[in-house]
Structure 1
């Protein structure tokens, strides 16, 4: 292995393993998204049949209070299918991202909805208070229960 690759690999792996309880001041949505990109890809297009895309449905969900609540629960409590995303059914599992604090979850959801899903400035950024409210209200839910809360989108 070349010296350059030997140096890059540990840095890349460290980026995926953000510290548990990530400090609020360090919450950068793009950096946190590196965890998500392992399955959903850097583009958010997902992997057909395995990991859903984080684009049009996520952008639509971010536009309603129920959708925003669901997105926060998806990150904090996880998901266990079946889910329908962009008209396709996914039966996989997304683990809860319990190592992220409310600020980090808000940052990654804001990044995903504005940048990955293409919502731009039209999508209101998530707040740590909004994530905390969702986390608290969903404390008794498991990943399958969260998946059943998926809001129905018209035309999907």
Structure 2
């Protein structure tokens, strides 16, 4: 499959790994049980912003990318966004801990694992080592309305929350 572009249908069969947030396991040292998150099904009738990045707890990702979405979450919701999700190749345990480290509770932002960068590879947006490129995709009821990949690894321009807000 080639890179997604506006007008494309979001692919069928896209499944990520995910640990749902529960208050009883809010401590960063608590582990939940990973479950499959069928994005194709869950997002079919919703407006979704999914942003991907090279890895949890990495400099640009932790200092700017995720905080930008946390800060702009109310504005995204005002624009009709139902789901905001961050995606990386890290396993579901790491993604869950990263969400907790960022103070994200409930399903405000889903911290999804793309094991082995399977989805990112399927759209050509992963590097040779299997790490996810930095990108953002907006899906509106199953149709891609925005899809942009950053021009370089540590650049944060087209996938940051502000750029997505301007585009939708």
Please confirm whether the aligned pair reaches a TM-score higher than 0.5, indicating the same fold. no
Q: Greater relative contact order: 1 or 2 (C-alpha under 8 angstroms, separation 6 or more)?
A: 2
Q: Which has the larger radius of gyration?
A: 1
The structure with more helix, counted as a fraction of residues: 1
Question: Which structure shows the higher strand fraction?
Answer: 2
Name the TM-score, length of structure 2 as normaliser.
0.30
Q: Give the TM-score of the pair, scaled to structure 1.
A: 0.32
